């Protein structure tokens, strides 16, 4: 069996060592398997893959990895999953070597909720534990990766997670061939990579492949890397050839982080992205990457395209020992497959299958038990389930026929999935990319258009799509922090922490039978049938995704005059996304268009970079500000290749700001938190709020110190014509309350310099506050007060002064010395220059410089005296 071949735990380990645990997410929180998963009895994880339940592949892998305790977490369709584990899986038995516990919690709306629920229940005790989704197919020996994770965690407690990646090669596209101008566009991409996956990662190969960048949004033409990473890492490899297998080795700290960050909903797009971009030393949660060996296989079945491709890999034995003739534990008692010629696997233990002598059945493919295939059929690269009846002269290519399907004579089926109990009548044609849902009937002679999806499930607000945060956007895994309010398996909102989450509709109508609405075996009179598609003697309705969220059609690129046109455009976009995730879809045009956009972005980059530099040099922050890095100075790396560029992103004030979410200005948000704070409340409460926001948006302490100072000055209620003495009096009063917060967030020179930059920013910003602060000697008095109250030390002030003079000595020399060294004196024509060169400010800086030199001389004298006594 697999467990003997795929590696087990080291028997030499101490018997007192904690049990190795794993968490398997039976909900993937995307909607790519609809409408199949609208049927509550058919969650995604229970869909057959090569006549084996998808979930059983993952369970078998975990058993082979030496897992002793497995928690299967279900949100929707949990009763069906629990029933399967208890009655059909050998590991569901009480005497199994791997204990399985099915956890049902209908209150969870996304993966983040699941992680918080696990942390709250305090059931994960092993460090590390395995985390994966139930739609992962793999033959990986995970034991070496676990050992490496343990070793890293022992040396560095912040190394809390290891992600398993596989090298598959990047996607590529070409619009023309120079040797053949008439050649059609072409593209190439790994069959294991979803069309919505455009993963770019940054790794430090000298630090055990520490992950420094994770960006998989195909809609984005660039990705951002903090500049501080280039300073702290000798080498960063930017790679687009890796596939995220969705197998993770985690420490329990990961669960605690989700509890701390209550707004995290998506593991990849929020937790991973935010963790790897944390810049503050000592606060970083480090994530490392384990690259699979070339002979190791791991892939997640994200949509129907990857479903078909993984199926073919299994048949072609790329996943050995996970192959059709070596079924997961328990299956061998019922079924046994033998490979025949043409790469065809045929079930031979139960047997009963008959194939007409004049029919041609070619693999890679499978034929289940008790099947009948008539004469004159041509079947290629098709998986046929048990009890399937195929009549004469039928043509089927690249398709998946599930159990109990009946196909009449003279029918044609291309690149489609026919679910259980489907009937295809005489002379019908099923176009490529179609999904024929459970129990549907296609009438005689009907032609089902390409990429049509049919279902018997009732349109209950279209499977509660209105509760989806992104509408049909959850079909696109690139959507920001996507999480459907239910599993993709079911398309429904779940309720009740211990319920089965089989509730499809949350209608207040007490007479509504939810289970009946979700069942595919409803009476024909209860089903809305699209007869123009399935025929007068057919059964089933066309399932079309809805655009329920305004965000799906109200975008910046829309020039439409009314909402209807915008909605039509959005619907067309989501339908195209649906097609791209279907079997038989040609993604060439999509990849070519994506490449064109990125190449156009490259052509415009040099000009944009120059404009950014000009804006930066003319903005509110001088190019030489030491605090500039604190506001998010970054490098932008163009996606879809190895092109690496650097540019800057600015807010309306010319400040560099890179928030953890698009269009987020962390300084403004932090300032708003401070402005809302009442001095009657403990400052510790505000510190907790700031710290929480800091982690959620990956803000720096410099952002926090600047925002706090901006808020304090705005809270002073500065009036027109206010004297410097009155201003200082008000400031001293406020600092009595705020100084403990500065003590927490001012960790060093950079944070203190940002306090000065905040004062300078307001002084140069105009308005009443700007007029008062810029009028001598107010600015000098504010600096002196902050120094006297020990918010700022003299090193920070002198370093800021050196930056303003253009010197490089960090404030250790006089202004004349700076000039002699070639430093450029600050431009007197700028507001900052005029403020800096005010005589009171210069007098204060000169006094600070003398004090600093005097203290330095005293220290030298004391040192010399000590040396002499020795």
DSSP 598: H
Bridge partners (DSSP) listed for residue 734 = none
pLDDT at 691: 84
pLDDT at 559: 46
Which tokens is 843 given?
């007098």
The domain ranges of the chain are: 547-584, 662-861
In angstroms, the CA 424 to CA 248 distance is 42
In angstroms, the CA 627 to CA 519 distance is 61
User: 265 and 112 in contact (C-beta within 8 Å)?
Assistant: yes
In angstroms, the CA 23 to CA 71 distance is 5
pLDDT at 4: 42
pLDDT at 280: 60
pLDDT at 402: 94
Helix (H, G, I), strand (E, B) or coil at 262: coil
| Cα angle 160-164-167, degrees, rounded to a multiple of 5 | 145
In angstroms, the CA 310 to CA 704 distance is 48
pLDDT at 624: 35
pLDDT at 866: 53
Helix (H, G, I), strand (E, B) or coil at 659: coil
Helix (H, G, I), strand (E, B) or coil at 418: strand
DSSP 650: B
Which residues of the chain are modeled with pLDDT < 70?
Answer: 1-17, 170-189, 218-222, 226, 228, 231, 279-284, 459-526, 548-563, 591, 597-663, 807-828, 856-870
Element containing residue 455 per DSSP (H, E) = strand 453-455
579: CB partners within 8 A, 6+ apart = 433, 451, 585
- Ramachandran sector of residue 351 (left: φ over 0; alpha: ψ -120 to 50; beta: rest): left
Alpha carbon of 843 to those of 337, 358, 836, 840: distances in Å?
90, 103, 11, 5
In angstroms, the CA 759 to CA 710 distance is 7
pLDDT at 343: 87
CATH class of 662-861: mainly alpha
Alpha carbon of 378 to those of 354, 394, 425, 438: distances in Å?
14, 6, 17, 24
């Amino acid at each position: 069996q697999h467990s003997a071949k795929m590696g087990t735990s080291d028997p030499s380990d101490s018997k007192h060592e904690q049990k190795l645990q794993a968490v398997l997410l039976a909900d993937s929180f995307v909607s790519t398997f609809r409408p199949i998963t609208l049927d509550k009895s058919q969650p995604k994880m229970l869909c057959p893959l090569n006549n084996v339940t998808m979930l059983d592949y993952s369970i078998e892998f975990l058993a082979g990895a030496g897992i002793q305790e497995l928690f299967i977490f279900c949100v929707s369709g949990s009763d069906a999953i629990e029933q399967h584990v208890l009655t059909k899986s050998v590991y569901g038995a009480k005497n199994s070597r791997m204990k399985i516990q099915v956890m049902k919690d209908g209150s969870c709306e996304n993966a983040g909720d699941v992680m918080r629920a696990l942390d709250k229940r305090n059931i994960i005790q092993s460090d590390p534990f395995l985390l994966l989704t139930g739609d992962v197919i793999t033959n990986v020996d995970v034991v070496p990766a676990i050992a490496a994770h343990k070793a890293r965690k022992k040396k560095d407690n912040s190394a809390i997670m290891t992600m398993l990646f596989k090298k598959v090669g990047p996607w590529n596209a070409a619009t023309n061939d120079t040797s053949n101008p008439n050649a059609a566009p072409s593209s190439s991409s790994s069959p294991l990579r979803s069309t919505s996956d455009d993963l770019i990662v940054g790794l430090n190969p000298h630090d055990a492949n520490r992950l420094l960048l994770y960006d998989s949004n195909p809609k984005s033409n660039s990705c951002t890397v903090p500049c501080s990473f280039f300073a702290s890492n000798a080498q960063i490899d930017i790679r687009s050839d890796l596939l995220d297998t969705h197998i993770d080795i985690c420490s329990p700290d990961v669960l605690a982080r989700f509890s701390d960050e209550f707004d995290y909903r998506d593991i990849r797009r929020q937790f991973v992205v935010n963790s790897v971009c944390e810049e503050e030393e000592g606060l970083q949660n480090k994530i490392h990457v384990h690259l699979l060996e070339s002979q190791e296989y791991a892939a997640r079945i994200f949509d129907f395209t990857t479903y078909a491709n993984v199926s073919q890999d299994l048949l072609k034995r790329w996943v050995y020992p996970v192959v059709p003739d070596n079924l997961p534990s328990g299956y061998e008692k019922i079924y046994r497959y033998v490979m025949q010629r043409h790469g065809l696997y045929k079930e031979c233990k139960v047997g009963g299958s008959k194939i007409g002598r004049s029919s041609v059945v070619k693999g890679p493919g499978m034929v289940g038990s008790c099947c009948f295939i008539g004469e004159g059929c041509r079947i290629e690269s098709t998986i046929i389930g048990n009890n399937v009846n195929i009549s004469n002269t039928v043509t089927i290519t690249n398709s998946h026929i599930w159990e109990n399907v009946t196909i009449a004579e003279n029918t044609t089926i291309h690149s489609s999935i026919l679910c259980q109990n489907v009937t295809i009548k005489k002379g019908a044609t099923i176009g490529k990319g179609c999904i024929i849902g459970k129990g549907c009937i296609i009438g005689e002679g009907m032609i089902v258009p390409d990429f049509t999806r049919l279902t018997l499930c009732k349109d209950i607000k279209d499977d509660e799509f209105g509760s989806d945060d992104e509408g049909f956007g959850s079909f696109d895994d690139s959507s920001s922090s996507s999480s459907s309010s239910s599993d993709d398996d079911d398309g429904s909102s779940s309720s009740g922490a211990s319920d089965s989450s089989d509730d499809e509709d949350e209608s207040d109508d007490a007479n509504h039978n939810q289970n009946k609405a979700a069942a595919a075996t409803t009476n024909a009179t209860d089903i809305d049938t699209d007869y123009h598609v399935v025929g007068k003697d057919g059964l089933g309705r066309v399932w079309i995704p809805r655009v329920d969220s305004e965000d799906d059609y109200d975008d910046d690129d829309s020039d439409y005059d009314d909402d209807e046109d915008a909605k039509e455009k959005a619907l067309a976009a989501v339908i195209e996304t649906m097609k791209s995730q279907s079997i038989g879809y040609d993604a060439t045009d999509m990849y070519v268009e994506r490449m064109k956009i990125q190449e156009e972005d490259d052509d415009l980059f040099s000009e944009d970079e120059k404009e950014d530099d000009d804006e930066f040099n003319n903005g509110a922050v001088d190019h030489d500000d030491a605090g500039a890095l604190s506001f998010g100075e970054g490098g932008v790396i163009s996606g879809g290749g190895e092109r690496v560029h650097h540019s800057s992103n600015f807010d309306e004030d010319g400040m560099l700001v890179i928030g953890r979410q698009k269009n987020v200005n962390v300084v403004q948000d932090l300032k708003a938190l401070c402005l809302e704070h009442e001095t009657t409340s403990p400052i510790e409460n505000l510190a907790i709020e700031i710290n929480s926001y800091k982690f959620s948006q990956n803000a720096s302490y410099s952002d926090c110190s600047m925002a706090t100072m901006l808020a304090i000055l705005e809270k002073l209620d500065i009036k027109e014509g206010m004297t410097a003495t009155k201003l200082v009096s008000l400031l001293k009063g406020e600092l009595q309350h705020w100084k403990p917060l500065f003590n927490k967030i001012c960790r060093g020179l950079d944070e203190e310099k940002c306090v000065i930059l905040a004062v300078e920013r307001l002084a140069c910003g105009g308005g009443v506050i700007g007029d008062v602060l810029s009028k001598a000697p107010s600015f000098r008095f504010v600096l002196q007060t902050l120094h006297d109250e020990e918010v700022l030390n003299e090193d920070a002030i002198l370093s800021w002064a050196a930056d303003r003079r253009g010197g490089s000595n960090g404030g250790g020399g006089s202004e004349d010395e700076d000039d002699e060294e070639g430093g450029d004196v600050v431009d007197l024509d700028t507001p900052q220059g005029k403020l800096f060169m005010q005589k009171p400010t210069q007098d204060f800086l000169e006094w600070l410089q003398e004090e600093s030199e005097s203290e330095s001389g005293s220290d030298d004298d004391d040192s010399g005296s000590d040396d002499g006594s020795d």
